[in-house]
């Protein structure tokens, strides 16, 4: 196994992507340390060791990297568009502290490889004013005009990571994620992203209800399924590539289409009510995967509809346990994967796309 005898650190291991990455690394045979200010929300971590620690403090970063070869820096103060547009100062300060201290700790601790999780939010606003503009290329980010707060910090942290590479020889990877979604992600509370928020609203609705949609619904995005994200992270880490890379899907949809897809999956007819006073982010954003394809000879393969079907079924199951899900129960595809909740009940089966999910998911409540 690729990871046998290797020691990896995943920061942000209590969060959505970090949690999935820990599980993937364990499957590959790595010894894994997870660090986060919180434990994973929906199921126990698969990490060999989990430190609950605040990475804004250098001493905690130092302890996190001790005896570690591969660092995956995924910890960040972040959330959906509502959260990141209302917390510029807090979020920027927190993330500056985490990223600068993690880099310095990795250098001092002699980490062999360092992965930094950046974001499509680094791209200039003026290239995202139209719904159908071409996909964003890595070279578009500078000259800079990124998203206020979160995007500026991500861009500077990319720069800082590359300075550590140039000046200290830190073997760094920098990857820009584009809207990652999937099971075990936040779906309520204000930090959830569009696919999860829409899935929750649809799952809670009765056929014929209205569904609120932020913006006019014509804004465009692409969404990348979590298993593809984790696969991409691992491929980039093993690649030795130092250039900044997009990691996203090129399947562009309007937000209205996203809502329609979820409704189709759910088997519900709902009426959309657009709220143009809510934040909607940039007008259009897509990934250009040319560089990713040329470096990895691979790109995220999962169709949005397939990933959404799995995500919707998981969110519906979570809401059902709280008595908030409304029928119909999502239709499952074959081959089935067993979904077991921690109370022992067999929730049912769910669709799988080859290689995307473990055959059983244990959910903790």
Active-site residues: which are they? 150
SS3 354: coil
Contacts (CB under 6 A) with ligand NAD, residues 192-221: 193
Tell me how far, at minimum, the Cβ of 98 lies from ligand NAD, in Å: 5
DSSP string covering 256-275, please? HHHHHHHHHHHT---EEEEE
Note the Cα 345 to chain centre separation in Å. 28
15 binds ligand NAD (CB under 6 A): yes
C-alpha 57/C-alpha 73 separation (Å) is 15
Q: Which stretch binds ligand NAD (CB under 6 A): 12-20, 205-213, 269-277, 344-352?
A: 12-20
Could you tell me the two tokens for 152?
């500026």
Separation between Cα atoms, residue 12 and residue 19, nearest integer Å: 8
CA distance 279 to 214: 7
Residue 223 structure tokens = 């969404």
Among residues 16, 42, 123, 156, which is the contact residue for ligand NAD, using CB under 6 A?
A: 16
Total residues interacting with ligand NAD, rule: CB under 6 A: 25
E strand or H helix at 107, and its extent?
A: helix 88-108
Residue 37 and residue 98 in contact, taking contact as beta carbons nearer than 8 Å: no
Question: Can you tell me which of 180, 266, 315, 361 binds ligand NAD, judged by CB under 6 A?
Answer: 180
Is 177 a residue that touches ligand NAD (CB under 6 A)? yes
The answer for 189, left when phi > 0, alpha when psi is -120 to 50, beta otherwise, is left
The stretch among 1-9, 10-18, 26-34, 161-169 that binds ligand NAD (CB under 6 A) is 10-18
Name the packing angle between helices 255-266 and 194-204 (round to 10°). Answer: 40
Nearer to ligand NAD, 88 or 326 (CB): 88
Minimum distance of ligand NAD from residue 249's CB (angstroms):
11
Q: How far apart are CA 358 and CA 272, in angstroms?
A: 35
Of the pair 14, 270, the CB lying nearest ligand NAD is at 14
Q: What phi, psi does 149 have (nearest 5°)?
A: 75, -95
Q: Token digits for 275?
A: 């709220």
Q: What minimum distance in Å lies between the beta carbon of 208 and ligand NAD?
A: 32
Distance, CA of 308 to CA of 315 (rounded, Å): 10
Contact between 289 and ligand NAD (CB under 6 A)? no
Candidate ranges 174-182, 212-220, 328-336, 338-346; the one touching ligand NAD (CB under 6 A): 174-182
Among 85, 92, 119, 219, binds ligand NAD (CB under 6 A): 119
Q: Helix 88-108 and helix 150-168: axis angle, to 10°?
A: 20
- Under the binding rule (CB under 6 A), the answer on residue 341 touching ligand NAD is no
222 beta partners: 252
The crossing angle, in degrees rounded to 10, of helices 255-266 and 304-321 is 60
Question: Please, which of residues 63-92 interact with ligand NAD by CB under 6 A?
Answer: 74-78
By beta carbon distance, the residue nearest ligand NAD is 15
Region binding ligand NAD by CB under 6 A among candidate stretches 36-44, 100-108, 137-145, 324-332: 36-44
Give the distance, in angstroms, between the CA of residue 77 and the centroid of all CA atoms in the same chain.
13
CB 110 → ligand NAD: shortest distance, Å?
22
Query: Could you tell me the smallest distance in angstroms from the CB atom of residue 66 to ligand NAD?
Result: 16
Q: Per CB under 6 A, does 249 bind ligand NAD?
A: no
The reply to whether 45 sits near ligand NAD by the rule CB under 6 A is no
Site string for ligand NAD, 133-162 (x = CB under 6 A): ------------------------------
Q: Which residues partner with 7 through β-bridges? A: 31
Residue 248 within binding range of ligand NAD, rule CB under 6 A: no
| Contact footprint for ligand NAD (CB under 6 A) | 12, 14-18, 36-38, 54-56, 74-78, 94, 98, 117, 119, 177, 179-180, 193
């Amino acid at each position: 196994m690729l990871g046998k005898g290797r020691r990896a650190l995943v920061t942000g291991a209590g969060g959505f992507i970090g949690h999935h990455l820990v599980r993937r690394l364990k499957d590959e045979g790595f010894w894994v340390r997870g660090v986060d200010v919180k434990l994973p929300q929906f199921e126990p971590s698969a990490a060999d060791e989990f430190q609950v620690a605040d990475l804004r403090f250098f001493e905690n970063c130092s302890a996190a990297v001790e005896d570690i070869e591969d660092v995956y820096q995924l910890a960040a103060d972040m959330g959906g568009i509502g959260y990141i547009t209302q917390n510029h100062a807090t979020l920027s300060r927190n993330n500056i502290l985490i990223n600068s201290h993690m880099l310095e700790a990795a250098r001092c601790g002699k980490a062999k490889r360092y992965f930094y999780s950046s974001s499509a939010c680094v791209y200039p606003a003026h290239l995202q004013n139209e719904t159908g503009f071409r996909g964003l290329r890595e070279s578009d980010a500078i000259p800079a005009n990124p998203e206020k707060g979160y995007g500026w910090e991500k861009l500077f942290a990319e720069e800082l990571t590359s300075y550590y590479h140039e000046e200290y020889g830190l073997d760094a990877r920098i990857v820009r994620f584009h809207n990652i979604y999937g099971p075990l992600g936040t779906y309520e509370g204000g930090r959830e992203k569009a696919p999860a928020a829409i899935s929750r609203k649809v799952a809670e609705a009765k056929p014929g209800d209205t569904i609120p949609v932020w913006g006019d619904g014509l804004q465009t995005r692409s969404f990348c399924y979590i298993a593809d994200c984790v696969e991409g992270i691992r491929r980039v880490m093993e690649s030795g590539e130092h250039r900044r890379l997009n990691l996203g899907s090129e399947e562009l949809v309007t937000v209205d289409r996203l809502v329609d897809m979820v409704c189709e999956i759910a088997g519900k007819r709902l009426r959309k009510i657009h709220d143009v006073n809510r934040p909607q982010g940039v007008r259009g954003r897509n990934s250009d995967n040319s560089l990713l394809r040329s470096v990895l000879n691979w790109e995220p393969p999962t169709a949005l509809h397939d990933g959404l079907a799995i995500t919707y079924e998981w969110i519906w199951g979570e809401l059902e346990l709280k008595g908030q899900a409304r029928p119909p129960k999502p239709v499952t595809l074959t081959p089935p994967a067993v979904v077991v909740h921690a109370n022992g009940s067999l929730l049912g089966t769910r669709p799988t796309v080859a290689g995307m999910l473990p055959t059983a998911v244990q959910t903790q409540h």
